[in-house]
A and B are shown apart, each in its own frame.
Chain A
């Protein structure tokens, strides 16, 4: 029997651009642990992203990668998965990328329910552009761009994913990469769209998030299998519960088989 590969084998060796102490290092560790756990051949894995601090992650993983444009990681991944269904396709990015500029794609990727695993590193701030409010920022958090806070209610990613039809919804914490790796393993194993929200502190612009390590707490119940139950949990939640919140028991229905055709047949149809 072959020995399982080590997580290190899934690191590209490229030094991340992230600040020292950034939560995203924990996510990188968790992704490589998960790939090692599943012993996936690196060439059978693709990790796609948009723009932002977290979206730099594909280059740091030893797999195929695509660092695309801001907000469009999910469509990029949708095209790849539809064209190459045998690949394991992971999508990663931040809260601004996924919930603001890419918000529409998030809704429709949940609806489409392709077998993708979407990991959002949520630090409730735009880090790469130096500290503006994101969709998940609380309304009274002041920034240079919104000196009085945004005054806008935060986006509720998990509840929105549930309403939009995602079949697998989980929350992890970058400070617990072993638990997060398990969530990613489960997400990859889920035969449909798996959404994993990761609390990943930005120590540069949101040093207050360093308190998360004292505040996060695991969910004690088994994952909800009914959307109604998951909705109740999500609306009663403090936003710091980790674990698989919802897992649809069936995943995704396979597409119907298609009749075979040929170019010659198509051309014959053009005949008068």
Chain B
């Protein structure tokens, strides 16, 4: 049986409950044994703006960006034009809308989609406290073939905090919507193979948070910023119960320094932010690297530069993550491929920071961070995660920055008798005394670099699927689309290798070259205008000369079909979206 998948969207103005409807349908499909993803796109308003819930339902957990929506439910058409680019519809799509909310926009009519009108508001009005989004949920559930019981349970669970009256009204609306529709002959999900079991419902930001907690992070400081705030909020809700602390800092400068201070005390510590905050944290990154104080930083990237596009996604902070700091400041940079992988990648990042006494930056993004998936539980990995500490010292003999074969020197923690030292962002000698001598500078620079280079990262540096003359290289949230493109190419008879990079710094240059092997064509795919990863990989010597770049800015996702179109066209060099020499 081939894999099954369909995409649908629910649009509506602020307060219409589009996102709630998406949430409920995702949970219901999950209860029925399927997988799914809910992404949201919102207008610029703080509250009350229009929004779209974009759902992928599938019988296998892969959530590459949708190329065609099978179904659109418009609770109303307010501000819909804002989302047109994000919601590809065609003649095979079905559009459900309520005639009382206005006529179907021209652009939607032009797609040739089948239109179904449903009196959602009138039906909701027959129920005290009734709302049309729940009528819509019933309608869609029946149209798709989602179990009625599963939707009922999902509604009750989602709304339980709002009280019994709200739940009752919602359930009546659900029933009304369900009954209102003439059941379609072939509800799609009815033919899918469902496998009921324990499922997690988790966002990418929560997945990063969970990975951090599993790795032992017990101190977090952060400053509110879209789209990282909900990661900090999730940690705030869960850290204290584990004996940890979260501080809302006065700014990002404070947040990263608080994180460094806590880690100096021996507590694994983390901060999370987005582009503008990462810019402010750059001096702190340098301090943590120079003083060899381990910290982990999660960047939930949004469109940039400057304030950019706060609510939407772009892989545009890679350069800042790789290079941000004055001086030679080597660090660890990692990127999760998807939400499930965000648990492992963050866990690994914290463990690497702790073991290597350096800075680990996890580059996530808005799409990955704020989407919610229903997936199988992500089991915990056992990773080496211990910081090397000095347990006792001969009086006056402790060398905090001793030159050791692997570059990592035992770090003493406050409270340890006889091992006192002063950590410093000033260049220092091995005993931590400030030094401007050339030989101390050279030795300490080398130490801080070599400890990263000499570590055995094993196989986790990348994810490799398939083999062939064509190699598609990518990182971060583009991975799902690239994996899908590689799969389609293989089905078309084109031997293709997918190479996803989880560990971006230090780059495993030799391993990267080996993974590319004797490929005839290499394409580096990423969602930013400047081809940041492409130029980085080229600069590091990880790519053959003839490698090409497919780099396109956000916020529209790079879709598998875009890549196939690019790869199959005769001449790829005229296309405006590609850049080789930016």
Main secondary structure, interface of B, reads mixed
Interface window among B76-84, B89-97, B237-245: B237-245
B227-248 vs A, CB cutoff 8 Å, 1 = contact: the mask equals 0000000000010111101010
Give, as a whole number of angstroms, the nearest-CB distance from A252 to chain B: 15
Task: Choose from B27, B250, B423, B433 the contact partner of A272 (Cβ within 8 Å).
Answer: B27
B414 touches A75 (CB 8 A): no
B426 at the interface (CB under 8 A from A): yes
> Closest chain B residue to A88 by CB distance?
B414
B265 touches A267 (CB 8 A): no
Bound Cα distance from A84 to B261, whole angstroms: 10
Task: Choose from B214, B253, B418 the contact partner of A43 (Cβ within 8 Å).
Answer: B418
Given known pairs A62-B420, A87-B415, A105-B254, the reply for A69 and B283 (CB within 8 Å) is yes
Give, as a whole number of angstroms, the nearest-CB distance from B383 to chain A: 14
A14-29 vs B, CB cutoff 8 Å, 1 = contact: the mask equals 1000000000000000
B-side interface residues, number (CB < 8 Å):
63
Interface window among B109-117, B198-206, B328-336: B198-206
Within 8 A of A (CB), among B254-296: 254-255, 257-267, 269, 283-284, 286-287, 291
- Which residues of B are found within 8 Å of A62, using beta-carbon distances? 420
B30 touches A79 (CB 8 A): no
Within 8 A of B (CB), among A16-67: 41-44, 46, 48, 58-59, 62-67
B250 touches A84 (CB 8 A): no
Within 8 A of A (CB), among B396-420: 414-420
- Which residues of B are found within 8 Å of A68, using beta-carbon distances? 257, 260, 287, 291, 425
> Closest chain B residue to A63 by CB distance?
B420
Give, as a whole number of angstroms, the nearest-CB distance from A129 to chain B: 15
Interface window among A145-153, A169-177, A254-262: A254-262
A-side interface residues, number (CB < 8 Å):
49
- Which residues of B are found within 8 Å of A258, using beta-carbon distances? 240-241
B424 at the interface (CB under 8 A from A): yes
Bound Cα distance from A193 to B284, whole angstroms: 24
B262 touches A65 (CB 8 A): no
Task: Choose from A14, A67, A263 the contact partner of B425 (Cβ within 8 Å).
Answer: A67
Give, as a whole number of angstroms, the nearest-CB distance from A61 to chain B: 8
Given known pairs A41-B417, A43-B415, A266-B210, the reply for A76 and B202 (CB within 8 Å) is no
Given known pairs A84-B415, A260-B241, A261-B241, the reply for A79 and B221 (CB within 8 Å) is yes
A242 at the interface (CB under 8 A from B): no
B264 touches A72 (CB 8 A): no
Give, as a whole number of angstroms, the nearest-CB distance from B327 to chain A: 12
B258 touches A76 (CB 8 A): yes
B416-459 vs A, CB cutoff 8 Å, 1 = contact: the mask equals 11111111111000000110000000000000000000000000
